Amino acid sequence: MIRTYSRFPYRPIYGYVLLIAAVLLMSWESQRADAAIAGGGIPSESIRLRILANSDNASDQAVKREVRDAIVEEMNNWVAGPQTIEEARATIRNHMSDIEGIIAAKLSSRGFHYGFQAELGQVPFPTKIYGTQVYPAGNYEALRITLGAGAGQNWWCVLFPPLCFVDAVSGEASTPAVAATATVSAAKADNDAQVTSAAADAPAKDKGSDQDAQAGEAKQPEVKFFLWEIIKSILSFFRSLFS
């Protein structure tokens, strides 16, 4: 009896390759979705959250991120989210003591003894890159939290409507022309939402870029190049099977 064998018998590795390809495809689609979310416009009636670190010292930047995470988590736990900007203002003012308590607790737990300030009002912003959008400099309503001297890099996102889940895909642009060229890539934000202090108005802060946001932007192209290399390897593998 003559047995016939398939030229390409099934091997478990084929299943693994298909699984990897599916995961890579889903990851790529997820990256596109994240960029689309981040690229959405900020409504004219909005409230931002901006947090200014005491300095660019690593420990000051680290506690800034801890304060950010704790505040965003607290806001997400509020029973009912505000539906209008008036309700959002009232909700923030009603919870201001809770916000200040969170900041004080975080600073104390990390051994920092400098003060802080939290205030809801009109806050000056430099030109910003948010996802694929560029927002001009100006005064915007925001909850600004200033830690210590407020002379370090800042982090911000949109508090209302709630866009802080985008992980603060934002950065600064020195001029609109520069900002337009900087929107090639975008990816909530360990940067990630942004209250008033005289020190925060100093020009030194306005010229500083948001390092947290820039790190978030830098990750996307790196991921894409990495995925592309893997995809090319998979395609080469399949071509070798049929060669």
Beta-strand pair 138-147/116-125: antiparallel
pLDDT of residue 80: 64
Q: Which two tokens stand for residue 104?
A: 């004080």
pLDDT digits (tens, 9 = 90+) for 62-114: 999 999 999 988 888 775 666 788 988 999 999 999 999 999 999 999 999 99
pLDDT at 16: 67
Burial class (CB in 10 A: 0-12, 13-18, 19+), 236: exposed
| 47, pLDDT greater than 80 | yes
Band the pLDDT of 156: cuts 50, 70, 90. Answer: confident
Using only the alpha carbons of the chain, give its radius of gyration.
Answer: 23
pLDDT of residue 65: 93
Query: What are the residue ranges spanned by the domains of the chain?
Result: 41-160
pLDDT reported for residue 95: 93
CA distance 51 to 230: 38
Give, in order, the Cα–Cα distances in Å from 163 to each of 20, 73, 168.
32, 13, 8
- Which is nearest to 126 in space by CA: 202, 22, 47? 202
Q: Give bridge partners of residue 134 from the DSSP assignment.
A: 129
> What is the rounded (10 degree) CA torsion for 135, 141, 147, 153?
0
Could you give the CA distance from residue 118 to residue 162 in angstroms, rounded to a whole number?
Answer: 19
Contact 82, 155 (CB under 8 A): no
Tokens at 234, concatenated: 């998979």
Given a cut of 80, is residue 29 above it in pLDDT?
A: no
At 43 the pLDDT is: 79
The residue with greater pLDDT, 63 or 194, is 63
- Nearest Cα to Cα of residue 107 among 162, 67, 157: 67
Q: What is the pLDDT at residue 106?
A: 95
